[in-house]
Amino acid sequence: MNSGPLLSVRELRTHIRSPRGVVRAVDGVSFDVGAGESFGVVGESGSGKSVMARTVMGLSTRQTGVSGEIVFKGRDLLALPKSESRNVWGKEIAMVFQDPGRALNPVVRVERQLTEGMRKHLGKSRSEARGRALELLKEVGISDPERRLHNYPHEMSGGMRQRLMIAIALACEPDLLIADEPTTALDVTIQRQILDLLRRVQRTHGMSMILISHDLAVVAGQTDRVGVMYAGRIAEVGATREVFQAPRHRYTEALLSTTPTLDHQRHARFPLIDGALPDPTQPPPGCRFESRCHAASSACSSDGHLDVVAVGEGHLVWCMNPVQHTNAVPAGGESVVR
Ligand SMILES: Nc1ncnc2c1ncn2[C@@H]1O[C@H](COP(=O)(O)OP(=O)(O)OP(=O)(O)O)[C@@H](O)[C@H]1O
Protein backbone atom coordinates (compact mmCIF):
# COMPACT_ATOMS: atom_id res chain seq x y z
CA MET A 1 0.00 0.00 0.00
CA ASN A 2 1.41 3.39 -0.99
CA SER A 3 1.34 5.80 1.95
CA GLY A 4 2.96 8.81 0.20
CA PRO A 5 1.11 11.74 -1.33
CA LEU A 6 -1.43 10.94 -4.04
CA LEU A 7 0.61 12.93 -6.58
CA SER A 8 4.28 13.76 -6.42
CA VAL A 9 5.65 15.86 -9.26
CA ARG A 10 9.43 15.99 -9.36
CA GLU A 11 11.67 18.19 -11.53
CA LEU A 12 9.04 18.26 -14.24
CA ARG A 13 10.15 19.86 -17.48
CA THR A 14 7.93 20.50 -20.47
CA HIS A 15 9.84 22.07 -23.33
CA ILE A 16 7.97 23.00 -26.49
CA ARG A 17 9.56 23.35 -29.91
CA SER A 18 8.26 26.48 -31.60
CA PRO A 19 9.31 28.84 -34.43
CA ARG A 20 10.82 31.19 -31.82
CA GLY A 21 12.96 28.42 -30.30
CA VAL A 22 12.48 25.89 -27.53
CA VAL A 23 10.02 27.33 -25.00
CA ARG A 24 10.89 26.12 -21.51
CA ALA A 25 7.27 26.43 -20.40
CA VAL A 26 7.72 24.18 -17.36
CA ASP A 27 11.31 23.99 -16.22
CA GLY A 28 11.94 21.98 -13.07
CA VAL A 29 8.68 21.98 -11.12
CA SER A 30 8.24 19.90 -7.95
CA PHE A 31 5.20 19.68 -5.67
CA ASP A 32 2.98 17.16 -3.89
CA VAL A 33 -0.79 16.84 -3.65
CA GLY A 34 -2.15 14.82 -0.75
CA ALA A 35 -5.24 12.58 -0.86
CA GLY A 36 -8.41 14.64 -0.54
CA GLU A 37 -6.42 17.87 -0.71
CA SER A 38 -7.21 20.92 -2.79
CA PHE A 39 -4.03 22.41 -4.26
CA GLY A 40 -4.09 25.83 -5.90
CA VAL A 41 -1.71 27.03 -8.60
CA VAL A 42 -1.28 30.77 -9.15
CA GLY A 43 1.11 32.84 -11.23
CA GLU A 44 0.84 35.53 -13.87
CA SER A 45 -0.09 34.81 -17.47
CA GLY A 46 2.64 32.82 -19.23
CA SER A 47 4.15 31.37 -16.05
CA GLY A 48 3.44 27.81 -17.21
CA LYS A 49 0.35 26.84 -15.20
CA SER A 50 -1.66 25.45 -18.11
CA VAL A 51 1.25 23.61 -19.69
CA MET A 52 2.05 22.05 -16.31
CA ALA A 53 -1.59 20.98 -15.83
CA ARG A 54 -1.80 19.52 -19.31
CA THR A 55 1.43 17.62 -18.77
CA VAL A 56 0.15 16.10 -15.52
CA MET A 57 -3.00 15.16 -17.49
CA GLY A 58 -0.91 13.45 -20.16
CA LEU A 59 -1.86 15.94 -22.87
CA SER A 60 1.48 16.54 -24.54
CA THR A 61 1.86 17.09 -28.23
CA ARG A 62 4.54 15.90 -30.65
CA GLN A 63 6.26 19.29 -30.30
CA THR A 64 6.69 18.69 -26.60
CA GLY A 65 9.56 17.11 -24.68
CA VAL A 66 8.65 16.02 -21.15
CA SER A 67 11.06 14.85 -18.45
CA GLY A 68 11.06 14.41 -14.67
CA GLU A 69 8.57 12.37 -12.66
CA ILE A 70 4.81 12.41 -12.23
CA VAL A 71 4.35 9.86 -9.47
CA PHE A 72 0.67 9.10 -9.04
CA LYS A 73 -0.37 6.52 -6.44
CA GLY A 74 3.22 5.31 -6.31
CA ARG A 75 3.74 4.88 -10.07
CA ASP A 76 5.68 7.26 -12.30
CA LEU A 77 3.27 7.93 -15.15
CA LEU A 78 6.09 9.06 -17.42
CA ALA A 79 7.82 5.71 -17.03
CA LEU A 80 4.74 3.50 -17.45
CA PRO A 81 4.04 1.76 -20.76
CA LYS A 82 1.56 3.85 -22.81
CA SER A 83 -1.10 1.16 -22.51
CA GLU A 84 -1.06 1.57 -18.71
CA SER A 85 -0.70 5.34 -18.45
CA ARG A 86 -3.62 5.76 -20.86
CA ASN A 87 -5.81 4.00 -18.31
CA VAL A 88 -4.82 6.49 -15.63
CA TRP A 89 -5.35 9.64 -17.67
CA GLY A 90 -9.06 10.19 -18.17
CA LYS A 91 -10.02 7.61 -15.57
CA GLU A 92 -8.03 8.22 -12.38
CA ILE A 93 -7.02 11.77 -13.31
CA ALA A 94 -9.63 13.95 -15.00
CA MET A 95 -9.61 17.54 -16.13
CA VAL A 96 -12.03 20.43 -16.39
CA PHE A 97 -10.90 23.07 -18.90
CA GLN A 98 -11.31 26.82 -19.04
CA ASP A 99 -13.58 26.86 -22.05
CA PRO A 100 -16.16 24.05 -22.03
CA GLY A 101 -17.34 25.19 -25.48
CA ARG A 102 -14.00 24.14 -26.94
CA ALA A 103 -13.37 21.12 -24.73
CA LEU A 104 -16.67 19.42 -25.57
CA ASN A 105 -17.24 17.77 -28.92
CA PRO A 106 -19.80 19.97 -30.73
CA VAL A 107 -21.17 17.21 -32.96
CA VAL A 108 -21.65 14.53 -30.30
CA ARG A 109 -24.73 14.38 -28.08
CA VAL A 110 -24.42 14.77 -24.30
CA GLU A 111 -25.26 11.10 -23.66
CA ARG A 112 -22.31 9.78 -25.64
CA GLN A 113 -19.88 12.33 -24.22
CA LEU A 114 -20.92 11.34 -20.70
CA THR A 115 -21.00 7.59 -21.17
CA GLU A 116 -17.96 7.04 -23.41
CA GLY A 117 -15.44 7.00 -20.55
CA MET A 118 -17.57 4.76 -18.36
CA ARG A 119 -17.95 2.24 -21.15
CA LYS A 120 -14.29 2.31 -22.11
CA HIS A 121 -12.63 2.50 -18.69
CA LEU A 122 -15.21 0.89 -16.38
CA GLY A 123 -16.69 -1.65 -18.81
CA LYS A 124 -20.23 -0.47 -18.08
CA SER A 125 -23.05 -1.59 -20.38
CA ARG A 126 -24.91 1.04 -22.34
CA SER A 127 -27.89 1.06 -19.98
CA GLU A 128 -25.72 1.09 -16.83
CA ALA A 129 -23.71 4.00 -18.18
CA ARG A 130 -26.91 5.82 -19.14
CA GLY A 131 -28.33 5.37 -15.64
CA ARG A 132 -25.14 6.72 -14.09
CA ALA A 133 -25.12 9.61 -16.59
CA LEU A 134 -28.58 10.65 -15.39
CA GLU A 135 -27.39 10.57 -11.76
CA LEU A 136 -24.34 12.65 -12.63
CA LEU A 137 -26.39 15.29 -14.47
CA LYS A 138 -28.61 15.60 -11.40
CA GLU A 139 -25.62 15.80 -9.11
CA VAL A 140 -24.10 18.73 -11.01
CA GLY A 141 -27.42 20.58 -11.02
CA ILE A 142 -28.62 20.04 -14.59
CA SER A 143 -32.40 19.88 -14.61
CA ASP A 144 -34.48 17.62 -16.85
CA PRO A 145 -31.55 15.21 -17.36
CA GLU A 146 -33.50 12.78 -19.60
CA ARG A 147 -34.00 15.54 -22.15
CA ARG A 148 -30.45 16.85 -21.75
CA LEU A 149 -28.96 13.52 -22.76
CA HIS A 150 -30.22 14.17 -26.29
CA ASN A 151 -28.82 17.70 -26.50
CA TYR A 152 -25.73 18.86 -28.30
CA PRO A 153 -23.40 21.14 -26.29
CA HIS A 154 -24.43 24.27 -28.24
CA GLU A 155 -27.98 23.80 -26.98
CA MET A 156 -26.79 24.51 -23.44
CA SER A 157 -25.64 27.75 -21.77
CA GLY A 158 -21.97 28.30 -20.84
CA GLY A 159 -22.66 27.54 -17.18
CA MET A 160 -24.56 24.34 -18.05
CA ARG A 161 -21.75 23.24 -20.37
CA GLN A 162 -19.24 23.68 -17.55
CA ARG A 163 -21.52 21.62 -15.28
CA LEU A 164 -21.56 18.98 -18.02
CA MET A 165 -17.73 19.05 -18.21
CA ILE A 166 -17.64 18.45 -14.46
CA ALA A 167 -20.10 15.53 -14.80
CA ILE A 168 -17.93 14.01 -17.56
CA ALA A 169 -14.83 14.46 -15.38
CA LEU A 170 -16.58 12.68 -12.48
CA ALA A 171 -17.91 9.81 -14.58
CA CYS A 172 -15.01 7.45 -13.92
CA GLU A 173 -14.67 8.43 -10.23
CA PRO A 174 -11.20 9.97 -10.55
CA ASP A 175 -8.88 10.36 -7.57
CA LEU A 176 -7.56 13.65 -8.91
CA LEU A 177 -9.46 16.41 -10.67
CA ILE A 178 -7.50 19.15 -12.43
CA ALA A 179 -9.47 22.35 -12.99
CA ASP A 180 -7.66 24.88 -15.21
CA GLU A 181 -9.28 28.32 -14.87
CA PRO A 182 -12.68 26.62 -14.74
CA THR A 183 -14.67 29.83 -14.41
CA THR A 184 -12.73 32.36 -16.49
CA ALA A 185 -14.96 31.97 -19.55
CA LEU A 186 -18.19 32.35 -17.53
CA ASP A 187 -20.37 35.26 -16.40
CA VAL A 188 -19.50 36.54 -12.95
CA THR A 189 -22.83 35.38 -11.51
CA ILE A 190 -22.23 31.81 -12.68
CA GLN A 191 -18.60 31.67 -11.53
CA ARG A 192 -19.47 31.36 -7.84
CA GLN A 193 -21.94 28.54 -8.52
CA ILE A 194 -19.37 26.54 -10.49
CA LEU A 195 -16.70 27.03 -7.81
CA ASP A 196 -19.14 25.92 -5.12
CA LEU A 197 -20.05 22.90 -7.21
CA LEU A 198 -16.40 21.94 -7.69
CA ARG A 199 -15.71 22.23 -3.97
CA ARG A 200 -18.82 20.18 -3.16
CA VAL A 201 -18.07 17.34 -5.59
CA GLN A 202 -14.44 17.31 -4.48
CA ARG A 203 -15.58 16.69 -0.91
CA THR A 204 -18.40 14.26 -1.61
CA HIS A 205 -16.26 12.16 -3.94
CA GLY A 206 -13.21 12.43 -1.64
CA MET A 207 -11.03 13.52 -4.57
CA SER A 208 -7.92 15.64 -4.64
CA MET A 209 -8.04 18.74 -6.79
CA ILE A 210 -5.54 20.98 -8.54
CA LEU A 211 -7.22 24.33 -9.06
CA ILE A 212 -5.49 26.77 -11.39
CA SER A 213 -6.72 30.31 -11.19
CA HIS A 214 -5.74 33.87 -11.97
CA ASP A 215 -7.94 34.91 -9.12
CA LEU A 216 -6.12 34.96 -5.80
CA ALA A 217 -9.37 35.28 -3.86
CA VAL A 218 -10.67 32.08 -5.44
CA VAL A 219 -7.52 30.19 -4.50
CA ALA A 220 -7.54 31.73 -0.99
CA GLY A 221 -11.09 30.54 -0.45
CA GLN A 222 -10.99 27.16 -2.15
CA THR A 223 -7.63 25.50 -1.51
CA ASP A 224 -5.69 23.92 1.34
CA ARG A 225 -2.25 24.40 -0.18
CA VAL A 226 -0.90 26.55 -2.97
CA GLY A 227 2.01 26.62 -5.39
CA VAL A 228 3.08 29.99 -6.80
CA MET A 229 4.52 29.62 -10.31
CA TYR A 230 6.92 32.03 -11.92
CA ALA A 231 8.60 31.63 -15.32
CA GLY A 232 8.16 27.87 -15.52
CA ARG A 233 9.14 27.18 -11.94
CA ILE A 234 7.57 27.04 -8.49
CA ALA A 235 8.66 30.05 -6.42
CA GLU A 236 6.88 29.07 -3.22
CA VAL A 237 4.64 26.28 -1.99
CA GLY A 238 2.86 25.76 1.32
CA ALA A 239 -0.43 25.95 3.20
CA THR A 240 -2.56 28.54 1.41
CA ARG A 241 -3.31 30.46 4.60
CA GLU A 242 0.36 30.62 5.55
CA VAL A 243 1.61 31.55 2.07
CA PHE A 244 -1.00 34.28 1.67
CA GLN A 245 -0.65 35.67 5.19
CA ALA A 246 3.12 35.52 5.40
CA PRO A 247 4.61 35.10 1.91
CA ARG A 248 8.31 34.29 1.92
CA HIS A 249 9.11 34.73 -1.77
CA ARG A 250 9.19 38.30 -3.04
CA TYR A 251 7.18 37.33 -6.09
CA THR A 252 4.35 36.06 -3.88
CA GLU A 253 4.72 39.14 -1.73
CA ALA A 254 4.48 41.41 -4.77
CA LEU A 255 1.36 39.64 -6.04
CA LEU A 256 -0.35 39.95 -2.70
CA SER A 257 0.71 43.49 -1.85
CA THR A 258 -0.69 44.80 -5.11
CA THR A 259 -3.98 42.98 -4.56
CA PRO A 260 -5.73 45.13 -1.96
CA THR A 261 -9.11 43.49 -2.30
CA LEU A 262 -7.94 40.01 -1.36
CA ASP A 263 -9.18 40.35 2.21
CA HIS A 264 -12.63 41.08 0.91
CA GLN A 265 -12.60 38.12 -1.48
CA ARG A 266 -13.50 40.38 -4.40
CA HIS A 267 -11.98 41.07 -7.77
CA ALA A 268 -8.53 39.88 -6.81
CA ARG A 269 -7.34 39.64 -10.40
CA PHE A 270 -3.66 39.54 -11.06
CA PRO A 271 -2.05 42.90 -10.53
CA LEU A 272 0.69 44.36 -12.66
CA ILE A 273 4.15 44.02 -11.21
CA ASP A 274 6.87 46.19 -12.72
CA GLY A 275 8.91 44.40 -15.36
CA ALA A 276 8.05 41.32 -17.40
CA LEU A 277 8.52 37.59 -17.36
CA PRO A 278 11.87 36.54 -18.85
CA ASP A 279 11.97 35.16 -22.39
CA PRO A 280 10.98 31.49 -21.92
CA THR A 281 13.34 30.42 -24.72
CA GLN A 282 16.31 32.00 -22.93
CA PRO A 283 15.62 32.17 -19.22
CA PRO A 284 18.36 33.80 -17.13
CA PRO A 285 20.67 31.73 -14.96
CA GLY A 286 19.99 31.73 -11.24
CA CYS A 287 16.71 33.09 -9.90
CA ARG A 288 14.27 33.97 -12.68
CA PHE A 289 12.64 36.73 -10.63
CA GLU A 290 15.98 38.46 -10.01
CA SER A 291 15.46 41.31 -12.50
CA ARG A 292 12.16 42.30 -10.82
CA CYS A 293 13.16 41.64 -7.22
CA HIS A 294 13.91 44.65 -5.02
CA ALA A 295 15.99 42.51 -2.65
CA ALA A 296 18.18 40.80 -5.26
CA SER A 297 21.93 40.62 -4.80
CA SER A 298 24.60 39.65 -7.32
CA ALA A 299 24.50 36.06 -5.98
CA CYS A 300 20.88 35.71 -7.18
CA SER A 301 21.89 35.84 -10.83
CA SER A 302 24.78 33.42 -10.54
CA ASP A 303 24.51 30.15 -12.38
CA GLY A 304 24.63 27.98 -9.26
CA HIS A 305 21.86 25.68 -8.08
CA LEU A 306 18.90 27.57 -6.64
CA ASP A 307 18.44 26.74 -2.96
CA VAL A 308 15.11 25.50 -1.68
CA VAL A 309 14.55 26.73 1.83
CA ALA A 310 12.08 25.04 4.18
CA VAL A 311 10.56 27.94 6.11
CA GLY A 312 7.81 26.03 7.88
CA GLU A 313 5.91 22.73 7.91
CA GLY A 314 5.56 21.86 4.19
CA HIS A 315 6.35 25.48 3.31
CA LEU A 316 9.18 25.74 0.77
CA VAL A 317 10.58 28.78 -0.92
CA TRP A 318 12.99 28.81 -3.87
CA CYS A 319 15.02 31.82 -2.73
CA MET A 320 18.38 32.20 -1.03
CA ASN A 321 17.18 35.20 0.97
CA PRO A 322 13.51 34.64 1.88
CA VAL A 323 11.33 37.44 3.28
CA GLN A 324 11.57 37.54 7.07
CA HIS A 325 8.47 38.11 9.19
CA THR A 326 8.60 38.81 12.89
CA ASN A 327 7.10 35.84 14.77
CA ALA A 328 7.21 33.68 11.63
CA VAL A 329 9.85 31.03 12.32
CA PRO A 330 12.19 31.00 15.31
CA ALA A 331 15.83 31.81 14.58
CA GLY A 332 17.58 28.76 13.18
CA GLY A 333 14.22 27.23 12.21
CA GLU A 334 14.90 27.51 8.49
CA SER A 335 16.92 25.00 6.58
CA VAL A 336 18.20 24.66 3.06
CA VAL A 337 16.67 21.53 1.56
CA ARG A 338 19.20 21.12 -1.23
N1 LIG B 1 1.89 25.25 -28.05
C2 LIG B 1 2.78 26.13 -27.64
N3 LIG B 1 3.82 26.48 -28.43
C4 LIG B 1 4.75 27.37 -28.02
N5 LIG B 1 4.74 27.96 -26.82
C6 LIG B 1 3.73 27.66 -25.98
C7 LIG B 1 2.70 26.74 -26.34
N8 LIG B 1 1.83 26.64 -25.30
C9 LIG B 1 2.30 27.46 -24.34
N10 LIG B 1 3.43 28.07 -24.74
C11 LIG B 1 4.25 29.03 -23.98
O12 LIG B 1 4.55 28.41 -22.72
C13 LIG B 1 4.57 29.38 -21.69
C14 LIG B 1 3.62 28.96 -20.59
O15 LIG B 1 2.29 29.03 -21.08
P16 LIG B 1 1.01 28.65 -20.20
O17 LIG B 1 -0.19 28.71 -21.10
O18 LIG B 1 1.25 27.38 -19.49
O19 LIG B 1 0.96 29.84 -19.15
P20 LIG B 1 -0.17 30.12 -18.07
O21 LIG B 1 0.52 30.42 -16.80
O22 LIG B 1 -1.16 29.02 -18.05
O23 LIG B 1 -0.82 31.43 -18.66
P24 LIG B 1 -2.37 31.86 -18.70
O25 LIG B 1 -2.71 32.21 -17.30
O26 LIG B 1 -2.39 33.04 -19.63
O27 LIG B 1 -3.15 30.70 -19.22
C28 LIG B 1 4.23 30.72 -22.35
O29 LIG B 1 5.44 31.38 -22.65
C30 LIG B 1 3.51 30.31 -23.60
O31 LIG B 1 3.66 31.30 -24.61
Atom of ligand 1 nearest to the CA of 61: 1
Q: In this structure, which residue's CA is closest to atom 12 in ligand 1? A: 25
**pLDDT given at position 305:** 65
Q: In this structure, which residue's CA is closest to atom 13 in ligand 1? A: 25
Cβ neighbours for 333, distance < 8 A, ≥ 6 positions apart: 311, 312
**pLDDT given at position 304:** 67
Give 312 Cα–ligand 1 centroid separation in angstroms.
Answer: 31
Q: How does 225-243 read in b/e, with b if 16+ C-beta sit within 10 Å? A: bbbbbbbbbbbbbbbbebb
Count of Cβ atoms closer than 10 Å to residue 265 Cβ: 13
Q: Give a yes or no: residue 256 inside a domain.
A: no
**pLDDT given at position 2:** 56
Q: In this structure, which residue's CA is closest to atom 28 in ligand 1? A: 46
Q: Give a yes or no: residue 321 inside a domain.
A: no
Give the chain's length. 338
Q: In this structure, which residue's CA is closest to atom 14 in ligand 1? A: 48
**pLDDT given at position 266:** 41
Q: Could you give the count of Cα atoms lying within 13 Å of 208 in the half-sphere of its Cβ? A: 19
Q: Are 63 and 17 in contact (CB under 8 A)?
A: yes
Q: Which 3-state string (H, E, C) describes 158-169?
A: HHHHHHHHHHHH
**pLDDT given at position 47:** 94
Give 280 Cα–ligand 1 centroid separation in angstroms.
Answer: 9
Return the bridge partners of 42, or none: 228
pLDDT < 70: residue spans in the chain: 1-3, 259-272, 304-305, 327-334, 336-338
Q: Give a yes or no: residue 230 inside a domain.
A: no
Give 333 Cα–ligand 1 centroid separation in angstroms.
Answer: 37
**pLDDT given at position 99:** 85
Start-to-end CA distance of the chain, whole Å, equals 29
Atom of ligand 1 nearest to the CA of 51: 18
β-bridge pairing 335-336 and 93-96: unpaired
**pLDDT given at position 265:** 43
ipTM value, please give it.
Answer: 0.96
Q: Give a yes or no: residue 132 inside a domain.
A: yes
Count of Cβ atoms closer than 10 Å to residue 44 Cβ: 19
Q: Give a yes or no: residue 265 inside a domain.
A: no
Q: Give a yes or no: residue 277 inside a domain.
A: no
Nearest-5° Cα angle at 265, 261 to 266:
60
Give 275 Cα–ligand 1 centroid separation in angstroms.
Answer: 18
Ligand 1 pocket, CB under 6 A = 16, 18, 23, 25, 43, 45-51, 214, 280
Cβ neighbours for 273, distance < 8 A, ≥ 6 positions apart: 44, 251, 254, 255, 258, 292
**pLDDT given at position 208:** 97
Distance separating alpha carbons of residues 201 and 126, to the nearest angstrom: 24
Q: Give a yes or no: residue 126 inside a domain.
A: yes
Count of structural domains, the chain = 1
Q: Give a yes or no: residue 328 inside a domain.
A: no
Range of the domain at 154: 93-173
